[in-house]
Chains A and B, each alone.
Chain A
């Protein structure tokens, strides 16, 4: 069965600093890959997704992610973090064409220092 790991439980960065959140997956083929963000008391919002093609994908709010097949990774990056980016970030994989089998990672909590 597929699985998703996010090695960092909690990350703290200063406002304006760059950010990279790590995600690794375990699956025999290339899955569909996603990053979602969850603000306190809110549901999850899709930041970006990768299906195929260009391995660097752009998302909303200035986020981007890079798929590296050789490392089974899909790391999320942002060049300059804003205080409003403080939230929980979840990496997820789907292994079928219709998303009937979604698996989320445990999440990384991002804190932003003023």
Chain B
């Protein structure tokens, strides 16, 4: 049973560029949440997608946007990259009927470096 798959694993971008990160949820899960984990910090909630719509959003600017596809996979897009966007981006999947309180399944993350 495949867990959460994220791609790419590492990425280097230049300030001002745009980036797209991808996530395939655990089999059977229908909800995808994205977290940003800066170096030495805990993950911070970006947003959550369910039924192809953004259901909840954290305190992140509109430069951060996302999408969920009919197969439940998801993308995170970041426009106009800043140096401060350098972080590990984690995708977590869950099942809406029981909620993330019963345990997220996390991917290994995408390490984004902005230079």
Question: Using Cβ atoms and an 8 Å threshold, which residues of chain A touch B96?
Answer: 98
Question: Using Cβ atoms and an 8 Å threshold, which residues of chain A touch B90?
Answer: 43-44
- Establish whether residues B42 and A104, one from each chain, have CB atoms under 8 Å apart when the complex forms: yes
Taking the complex as formed, is B73 at the interface, i.e. its CB lies under 8 A from any CB of chain A? no
Q: Mark B residues whose CB is within 8 Å of A.
A: 4, 33, 35, 40-45, 48, 55-56, 90, 92, 94, 96, 99-104, 106-109
- Establish whether residues B4 and A43, one from each chain, have CB atoms under 8 Å apart when the complex forms: yes
Chain A interfacial residues counted at CB < 8 A: 25
Per the bound structure, the CA–CA distance linking A42 and B6 in Å amounts to: 11
> Distance (Å) between the CB of A1 and the closest chain B CB?
9
- Establish whether residues A98 and B101, one from each chain, have CB atoms under 8 Å apart when the complex forms: yes
Q: Mark A residues whose CB is within 8 Å of B.
A: 4, 32, 36, 41-46, 49, 51, 90, 92, 94, 97-107
- Establish whether residues A101 and B44, one from each chain, have CB atoms under 8 Å apart when the complex forms: no
- Establish whether residues B43 and A46, one from each chain, have CB atoms under 8 Å apart when the complex forms: no
> Distance (Å) between the CB of B105 and the closest chain A CB?
8
- Establish whether residues A97 and B42, one from each chain, have CB atoms under 8 Å apart when the complex forms: no
Per the bound structure, the CA–CA distance linking A85 and B90 in Å amounts to: 22
Report the nearest A residue to B96, measured CB to CB: A98
Per the bound structure, the CA–CA distance linking A107 and B33 in Å amounts to: 20
- Establish whether residues A106 and B42, one from each chain, have CB atoms under 8 Å apart when the complex forms: yes
> Distance (Å) between the CB of A24 and the closest chain B CB?
14
Per the bound structure, the CA–CA distance linking A76 and B61 in Å amounts to: 34
Which of B33, B42, B92, B103 gathers the greatest number of chain A CB atoms within 10 Å?
B42
- Establish whether residues A43 and B106, one from each chain, have CB atoms under 8 Å apart when the complex forms: yes
Per the bound structure, the CA–CA distance linking A46 and B101 in Å amounts to: 11
Question: Using Cβ atoms and an 8 Å threshold, which residues of chain B touch A102?
Answer: 33, 45, 100, 104
Question: Using Cβ atoms and an 8 Å threshold, which residues of chain A touch B92?
Answer: 43-44
Q: Return the contact of A101 from the options B56, B94, B103 (Cβ within 8 A).
A: B56
Per the bound structure, the CA–CA distance linking A90 and B106 in Å amounts to: 13
Q: Return the contact of B101 from the options A41, A42, A94, A104 (Cβ within 8 A).
A: A94
Per the bound structure, the CA–CA distance linking A32 and B99 in Å amounts to: 12
Question: Using Cβ atoms and an 8 Å threshold, which residues of chain B touch A4?
Answer: 42
